[in-house]
Chain A
Amino acid sequence: MKRLWRLFPALPALMLSGCTVDLLQPDGPIGEGNRDMMVLEFAIMMCVVVPTCIATLFFAWKYRASNTKAEYRPNWSHSNAVEVFIWGMPIAIIAVLSGFNYWSTHYYDPYRSLPKDMLVREHAENTKPLTIEVVAIDWKWLFIYPEQGIATINELDVPTKTPLNLHITSDSVMTSFFIPQLGSQIYSMAGMETQLHLLARNPGVLRGEAAQYSGPGFSDMKFKTIALPQEQFQSWVENVRNGSSQFASHEPLNLQTYPKYAKPPVVRESVAPTPSPVIYFGEAQSDLFQHIIAKYNNGMVRSINNGKIMRMDMHAASNGAASSSDTGM
């Protein structure tokens, strides 16, 4: 037993060795920012929490009823000095943290394109950002690469050291798009577009997940995020385009074929729905994302290019998935 105690200080290290604590070992500047804020707050708060806990135990022990030697002041209930201290100290700490709060909320704002100085630090200031459109479906993720004209389901391949501009919506219930090691998550909501800006620093495979409960298939609504060096990413794009991958779909993804892929799996009460496989589409309709948003808004959508409201051609969008939740145009 005694020997076990000696191991105790090493326990956290033992339990964490060989595993990744995603949020503490991020793989990009945004995730690092998230982590730094967390650690900073933890450190500052610990300066108060630890003494408070110790004082609690110490006072409880020192002034226990059986210790008649300790001083007893049965009517003492006010002290200006103590009051100033107990109000002043927390205010000071929170004031400091508020400063960090203001700065970090603006600097790491998910809607903001990655700041210039961050890109310089990541040696990505001259790289063209990659736009990816993300659609949450029951219970899988669709990723459309509008500039490459391809799409994937349940696998997100990204180039490293490249700013990623993610546009996110949902074609079902609300959920949250989250790659823990890249940092910040954001909700996906039907008929709306949310935005997220990330950057992957090193090549590798990261876990991506739905971070907001979305129904019986929620636990399997996850995707691999594969970060590849720029050249490998280009050849991956080529591979997807010419359909030579094992995941390749034999048909393009467009308004006609989309409903088939967007259909939720059969739900039975006794088992979890089957997870969706990875699929690559060598050809994807470029404005599919806008159509998916527009079908909840009476055919209207805010243009990504100029921010103006525009009307999508609804005839093309009238399909199985849309008719169930049509706006009644």
Chain B
Amino acid sequence: MSHDTTHAPEAQHGEHEHHETPVVFGFWVYLMTDCILFGTLFVVFAVMCHQFAGGPTGKELFDITNVEIETAILLFSSITYGFASIAAHARKKSAVLAWLLVTFVLGVSFVGLEIHEFADLVERGAGPDRSAFLSSFFTLVGTHGLHVTIGLIWMFILFFQILGRQGLSDRMQSKLTCLSLFWHFLDIVWICVFTFVYLGSVM
């Protein structure tokens, strides 16, 4: 094909609308596959949750207060992201940036608390190589944490792209929508983690 073709910027806006729909739809499809990924990890955890291999059980290890704080932070960050979305629809750039910043800080503190929890477990001799139960625990919760971290990096980049020349363009709007879907999805996954992994182990 030849590249010596010209731009037709006057037609760009209308055509863009036509092309944006599949982005959000495609992201939904991706999220569904991610859902199956987490589903598989939950199944693995369900199979492994009594394989302590003589090591510590969840009841002995988990600090529910810490997990409750993590949960509260993550749920709250979903609300603040919601405010960012509302601001984006209203095309209020500075409000979007402010709410993204708040969400980012909350997300970072969630990841921080999780890393702290993991480090504490490893220090107590309950690392992922101790038993199948701990392997599946670290993998499931760690995969969620990794997703949150990726979401944070994504947020960080979008923050600077909004500051920069992209502003709140249509393309940026759909990126914000995708991140919003991602962020709320991780919230839902976390609720399952909290219920089945932590509460399930302690009860």
Which residues of A are at the interface with B, using a C-beta cutoff of 8 A?
298, 327-329
Contacts and interface: CB of A to CB of B under 8 A. Distances in A.
A184 B54 CA distance: 36
Given A298-B54, A327-B53, A328-B55, 6 more contacts: A298-B53, A327-B54, A328-B53, A328-B54, A328-B130, A329-B54
Contacts of B130: 328
Q: Ordered nearest first, which 9 A-B pairs have the shortest CB separation?
A: A298-B54, A329-B54, A327-B53, A298-B53, A327-B54, A328-B53, A328-B54, A328-B130, A328-B55
A314 to B, nearest CB: 10
Interface string B51-86: 001110000000000000000000000000000000
Contacts of A298: 53-54
Contacts of A328: 53-55, 130
Interface of B: 53-55, 130
B128 to A, nearest CB: 13
Contacts of A329: 54
Contacts, number: 9
9 contacts: A298-B53, A298-B54, A327-B53, A327-B54, A328-B53, A328-B54, A328-B55, A328-B130, A329-B54
A327 B131 CA distance: 9
Nearest to A298: B54
> Which secondary structure dominates chain B's binding surface?
loop
Contacts of B55: 328
A298 B130 CA distance: 13
A52 B54 CA distance: 60
Contacts of A327: 53-54
Nearest to A297: B53
A329 B52 CA distance: 11
Nearest to A300: B54
A328 B130 CA distance: 8
Nearest to A299: B54
A322 to B, nearest CB: 14
A160 to B, nearest CB: 42
Nearest to B130: A328
A137 B130 CA distance: 26
A328 B51 CA distance: 13
A76 to B, nearest CB: 39
A305 B130 CA distance: 32
A298 B53 CA distance: 6
B23 to A, nearest CB: 39
Contacts of B54: 298, 327-329
B143 to A, nearest CB: 25
A117 B55 CA distance: 48
Nearest to B55: A328
A4 to B, nearest CB: 58
A298 B55 CA distance: 10
A328 B52 CA distance: 11
Nearest to A296: B53
A298 B132 CA distance: 13
B173 to A, nearest CB: 47
A329 B130 CA distance: 11
B55 to A, nearest CB: 8
A329 B55 CA distance: 8
A239 to B, nearest CB: 43
A298 B54 CA distance: 6
B26 to A, nearest CB: 35
A169 B7 CA distance: 71
B33 to A, nearest CB: 30
A6 to B, nearest CB: 60
A15 to B, nearest CB: 48
